[in-house]
Structure 1
Amino acid sequence: MSTAPTPRLSVVIATYNRLPLITRLLWQFAGQTLPPEQFEVVVVDDGSKEPVREPLLAQKLPYTLRVEVQQNAGAAAARHRGVIAARGDIVLVTDDDMQVAPDFLERHLAHHPPGSRHVVLGRIRPDPSIGDMPLFERWYAYLNNRMAEELSVPGARARGNHLYTGNVSFHRADYVGVGGFDKSLGQSEDVELGLRLEKSGCTFVFSRDAYVLHGSDHVSFERWLKRAHRYGMFDTQVARKHPEVRGVNPWRLLFETNPLTRPLLAATVVAPEATRLLTNTVMNVAKTADKLGLEKAAFAGTSVAYGMEYLRGARNEAGGWTGVAREVARYLQGRKE
């Protein structure tokens, strides 16, 4: 029976086929200003092709490391398993491709004063090598930066639909109390969890100082499009569960985006297959703008290409025109309330 003291904080990391990256991150936790006996790290290997548990446990780390192994079941299931296995009152979830500063854990804990029910969203900053990444990954970094700036404005309020699993901490009891991640969701499980945590009474706090650095090993445009498609599908499911939250309804794109882009998005809904070539053309124009140094135009084009594939996913989940009409009506009804 273990006699180790209960840690103040548990770090939960899901990993899949990224042994070098998770190893790098674990050693960065070894250099934390928070004493090693005050935290633990729980890694959940989500069915990596090469063994992860033995190489990680062979590392001579100063803190308690536990490695759970499961058959590939997706990030939501892996993170859920890690949070349930965690022993700390505060759980911090991050990704295996992140990097952290030495005071990272202390800064998160500082935002959880006694008696609070905070969900702390730490900033995600781009890795200094961001310039070497594909346009679509730099676009993600741009979106993260834009959200961080918006949430940093005095009086701005972080909400449940802002939750992301790259850098977030919360009370384990709150997580368990709302039922944890919905493991049926292949994407957007973080946003959906955030909505339930907010409804349960948690307060969301954005922290610029508890930041991570995010690089990326995603280089496939085709896989990026598939992710956009999946987000459209699963955001539709989230919107059904939370119809009163307009910010998660995928059909908001048809009404809230730049009017100049709406015809392209509408065309995708009307003829999803016939407009695939058009999506590629939009992305090629964005790449050309990027090469010319027109970053704003490049990001705008990337947003349109993403939105087109995203709405293909939403349309696929909605089914035929009857389903699309029902989902759009749900969004419009939410606008009136």
Structure 2
Amino acid sequence: MGRERAFVSVIVPTCGRLAGIARCLQALARQTYPADQMEVILVDDGSDGDVETAVFSLTLPFPVHCIRQSRRGPAAARNTGARRARGQLLAFTDDDCEPAPNWLTQLVSAHYHHPVAMLGGHTINANADNLYAAASQMLTNFVSQHSRHDPTQPPFFPSNNIAIPRQQFWQAGGFDETMPLAAGEDRAFCAHWIQQGWPLVFVPDAVVQHRQLLNGWSFWQQQWRYGRGAWQWRQRYAGERGRKVANWRFYWQLIRYPGTAVTGPQRLPLTILFLIAQIAVGTGYTYEKLKRKSPSSEGPA
């Protein structure tokens, strides 16, 4: 007899990207994993769009549950979806992502071999002609990969391509809802996960395409937001564990990364964007630090 298949709940937070949601759901409909062993939970984080109409216009082989909440951020949206989920394995992706057909099959296979591990897949840029999207994804992949190989750093997986056993998810406390930005909440959750003594396992064949529609301004805003999230995460993590969060070698390797990983005409502009990103991150970090020290500050924003 074969082993019993895990029932999987795929949780997707969304905030108004209706075209992206349609592409995400269509990609999930192409999964090789049995459709009767999965459900999709969309959590609308206070958007102005009609998510339900967009969903129900599609013909899908699995049930889709739409939940609407007031805008509280992606961390709260993921927790809302997890509360509704009935799967023993929770898979998370985002509304601008398109999982490859064998995404769930790869994650479930890894889950059988590592039943209490957080599983993270490989995410690639889906907009090859968009330098801002390419730089953003390269930055995220570098930081995640570096964290998994540097013993002085807490490893982490970005939350748009992970799977987590439901029981352990709640034992780790879920995502920190006091971090309302789409920045840093996944690093904080991974730090809490490590504190429980559970492993993080990289599943390179669980591929997600990330279709970011970025321009110069939205790229800056994204990295600035990451800087704000980095300050919030650092206060929680460094305060609890006392571990050094980063050092000069990390930043030197990061700035050099496009020059070593990319060939051809994109090398120089990507290197420049990496430098710009670090300025934006530093600006956001400083803003959040000063904001939290201000007497008029009233919690996270």
Q: Same fold (TM over 0.5)?
A: yes
Contact 1:44 1:70 in 2 (8 A): yes
Larger radius of gyration: 1
Answer 1 or 2: higher relative contact order, Cα 8 Å, separation at least 6.
Answer: 2
Structure-1 residue corresponding to 2:128: 130
Structure-2 residue corresponding to 1:9: 8
Structure-2 residue corresponding to 1:280: none
> Where do residues 143-182 of structure 1 align in structure 2 (5 Å cutoff)?
143-147=139-143, 161-182=155-176
Supply the AA of the counterpart residue of 2:38.
F
Mark the runs of 5 or more structure 2 residues left unpaired by the alignment: 256-263, 295-301
Number of residue equivalences: 277
Distance (Å, rounded) in 2 between the aligned partners of 1:292 and 1:201:
41
Contact 2:13 2:45 in 1 (8 A): yes
Secondary structure of the equivalent of 1:130?
coil
Secondary structure of the equivalent of 1:62?
coil
Distance (Å, rounded) in 2 between the aligned partners of 1:292 and 1:102:
29
Deviation by residue 1:112-143 (Cα, 9 ceiling, x = unmatched) = 1167201001111111x232243xx3322222
Q: Does residue 302 of structure 1 match 2:276?
A: yes
Contact 1:148 1:208 in 2 (8 A): no
Distance (Å, rounded) in 1 between the aligned partners of 2:135 and 2:6:
37
Identity %, equivalent residues: 23
Say if 1:53 and 1:109 are closer, same or farther in 2 by CA, change over 3 A.
same
Structure-2 residue corresponding to 1:238: 236
TM-score normalized by structure 2? 0.80
Structure-1 residue corresponding to 2:111: 112
Of stretches 112-121 and 14-23 in structure 1, the one that deviates more from structure 2 is 112-121
Supply the AA of the counterpart residue of 2:241.
P
Deviation at 1:246, TM superposition (A): 2.4
Deviation at 1:308, TM superposition (A): 2.7
Secondary structure of the equivalent of 2:129?
helix
> Where do residues 31-42 of structure 1 align in structure 2 (5 Å cutoff)?
31-42=30-41
1:214 aligned residue (202, 210, 218) = 210
Q: Does residue 199 of structure 1 match 2:195?
A: yes
Contact 2:11 2:81 in 1 (8 A): yes
Distance (Å, rounded) in 1 between the aligned partners of 2:186 and 2:194:
12
Q: Alpha carbon RMSD of aligned pairs, Å?
A: 3.1
Say if 1:299 and 1:197 are closer, same or farther in 2 by CA, change over 3 A.
same
Deviation at 1:230, TM superposition (A): 2.0
Supply the AA of the counterpart residue of 2:175.
F
Secondary structure of the equivalent of 2:53?
helix
Supply the AA of the counterpart residue of 1:169.
A
Contact 2:33 2:104 in 1 (8 A): yes
